[in-house]
Amino acid sequence: MRILLLAALLVPAPALAGKRKAPAPDLADTAAVVIGRALQAKDTTWTRMQELCDDIGHRLSGTPELERAVDWAARRMEEDGLSVTREPIEVQRWVRGSESLVIETSGRAREVPILGLGNSVGTGGEVIEGEVLVVGSFEELVAKKEAVKGKIVLYDVPFTTYGGTVGYRYRGASEAARHGAIASLVRSVGPTSLSTPHTGSLGYVDDVPQIPAAAVDIETAAWLHRLQDRGQKATARLSMEAHFEDPVTSHNVVGELKGRELPDQVVVVGCHLDSWDVGQGAQDDAAGCVAAMEAGRILASLDVRPRRTVRVVLFTNEENGLAGGRGYQEAHADEDIVAAMEMDTGAGPFEGYRIDARTGGTDDETLAERERIIAAFGAVEHLFTALDPEFVPSFSGADVGPLVDHGTLGIGLAMDTTGYWPIHHTEADTLDKIDRAHFQRDVAGMALMTWVLAEWPDLPRVQRTLGGHP
Ligand SMILES: [Zn+2]
């Protein structure tokens, strides 16, 4: 970098005549500077993780903690030299209240750990009591539908992948209610458990009654399944105070670095600032937020601003509404947002980038378009050598999803998630689970890709089968 600056000073005067314009930085030299600064930023990164996780803690939509996080992020990004705005977003406010589940079998009653599912109704100040019926799939539920009425259904479905299992958490209550269940329980959506139930949102369908739903830990689900297999009955007594209160105003926090040559082309790098109301929301998604903020801070520290505008966007309300991601797309529909990157699958060992382009056409067309864009990244592959990333055609992230649906190139930071799914949405999503060295490479991956997206002149644009760019 020093050599580069010296060279700029030696350029003869006529070349700089007229409008004084900073020369375009050398791509490889600046990429090395970005990676170097990101990997050396351990102290800043970790201090910020402590501020967000230890000082503020978990941050469910509608809580004062989330708005404290908004203020904190705005302050830190201002200190970093970004111009900061807070864009108001109305968010729903779901409140868990106290909750309990007591299982009685063979004359003995025992309270087991649960977490009510986000957006669930409560039990209306009563205790709902019913016999437990365990099923291992939706097909088994339908096969046993004559036995469902008046029961509390438990889905004991072992974790395969998150996408492959989360449907039981999301749709289970309505599917059980369709056949007359009075409440719904789901085995936590995670591969392992140390009595740590996993929350997350559910969705009710319109044409069936809304019944309360909670996650039990894997230990309880397996126990109840064993009892049923041996012909032993179990009764469940469920009490949940869950309810909605009036919506409140939250904010997407945006830190902007105006582009030097193409300020109207915008690169978004983001995460979600809200979390569930358990643990510290450390990997979901404080890590993504601090990494996105670090990308902004490092790019602001360069001698030359990136060619395009960079916006760090900390989205609100991803976990139980996605109002932040949707609202951002609507508010900025007239802008040319060329790419949007998100980190929201933990802080494990860095693997690379998930390239997401949605053509509006068939699945085959979408896959072909993602592969075309990955091939185009071959031209800048050398910039990434130090991090050795994979580029895979895949989903990018929930918050940037609405932008990607409208033609923006989506990129998800990819990391090994082995350590993530066991603690995701549980009381155990805390700072101690994060390996600082692994996380710092994620930060470098975010910073480098953000800079490449903002600087690379030939950045590919998504070709829409239906419609043009937004
Ligand atoms: Zn998340």
Q: What is the pLDDT of residue 18?
A: 44
Q: Distance from the CA of 313 to the center of ligand 1, in angstroms? A: 14
pLDDT per residue as tens digits for the range 16-65? 444 455 677 889 999 999 999 999 998 999 999 999 999 999 999 999 99
Residues of the chain under the 50 pLDDT cut: 1-19, 467-470
Q: Distance from the CA of 226 to the center of ligand 1, in angstroms? A: 33
Q: What is the pLDDT of residue 12?
A: 41
Whose CA is closest to 250, among 57, 58, 93? 93
Domain range annotation of the chain: 2-93+246-455, 97-241
pTM value is 0.92
Q: Distance from the CA of 322 to the center of ligand 1, in angstroms? A: 11
Sheet holding 308-315, edge to edge: 83-95, 243-257, 308-315, 262-272, 336-342, 409-415, 350-356, 390-393
Q: Distance from the CA of 382 to the center of ligand 1, in angstroms? A: 31
CATH architecture of 2-93+246-455: 3-Layer(aba) Sandwich (3.40)
Q: What is the pLDDT of residue 93?
A: 97
Task: Name the strand (E) or helix (H) holding 123.
Answer: none
Q: Name residues whose C-beta falls within 8 Å of residue 295's C-beta, 6 or more positions apart in sequence.
A: 38, 269, 310, 312, 443, 446, 447, 450, 451
Q: What is the pLDDT of residue 11?
A: 42
Domain 97-241 has CATH 3.20.20.70: no
Q: Distance from the CA of 400 to the center of ligand 1, in angstroms? A: 12
Q: What are phi and psi of 63, to 5 degrees?
A: -95, 155
What is d(CA 84, CA 336) in angstroms, rounded to the nearest whole number?
19
Q: Which of 67, 175, 294, 318 is catalytic?
A: 318
Q: What is the pLDDT of residue 10?
A: 41
Q: What is the pLDDT of residue 466?
A: 61
Q: What is the pLDDT of residue 24?
A: 76
Q: What is the pLDDT of residue 138?
A: 98
Q: What is the pLDDT of residue 469?
A: 45
Q: Distance from the CA of 308 to the center of ligand 1, in angstroms? A: 27
Is residue 79 flagged as an active site residue? Answer: no
Q: What is the pLDDT of residue 465?
A: 78
Tell me the one-letter amino acid at 126. E
